[in-house]
Structure formats: structure tokens, C-alpha cells
Amino acid sequence: PTWDADFAAKRLYQTDATLQQATLDRWGPRIAKLDECGRMVDVDREALAEVVFSSPDELVWLEAQVHPA
């Protein structure tokens, strides 16, 4: 058996309300996929990649949220 880290991260963004709120607080709705009520249901991976891969500090912040010590 193998563990799919990409799948696990995707599920985390879809189900972890704390992570969703933290990313919304940090970067606003530009990185979010919202439902018809305006609630975040997933992250826009392309938009998130633009943010975190253009700034090492933002990537460090995100990694600390996804992989807390």
C-alpha cells in the first residue's frame, strides 16, 4: 500500500474548517472555491500556488498550518 500525500492534502483543505479559515484570513477569498452561500469548500490550488511560490515566507506559513509541530 502507498500513501497519497496529494490526496490527503486535498481532503484536508476540503474538510478542515480551521485550515480553511486560516487561509481565508491570511489571503482572502482569492484562494478559495466558495459554495453558493459563500462558504469555502475547497482551495483554489492554482491561486494558492501563485501566492506561496512567489514568497518563501508565505510558503513557510502555509506549511506550518498544514504540518503543525
The pLDDT score that the predictor gives to residue 69 is 67
- Structure confidence by residue, pLDDT tens digits, 46-60: 999 999 999 999 999
Amino acid at the residue 43: V
Please enumerate in sequence order all residues whose Cβ is within 8 A of that of 62, keeping only pairs 6 or more positions apart, or say none: 23, 48, 52
The pLDDT score that the predictor gives to residue 13 is 85
Residue 12's Cβ-count burial label (10 Å; 0-12, 13-18, 19+) is: middle
> Region 7-33: what's the mean pLDDT?
91
Confidence bin at 67 (pLDDT 50/70/90): confident
Q: Give φ, ψ of 64 to 5 degrees.
A: -65, -30
- What are the domain boundaries of the chain? 5-66
Which residues pair with residue 42 across a beta bridge?
33
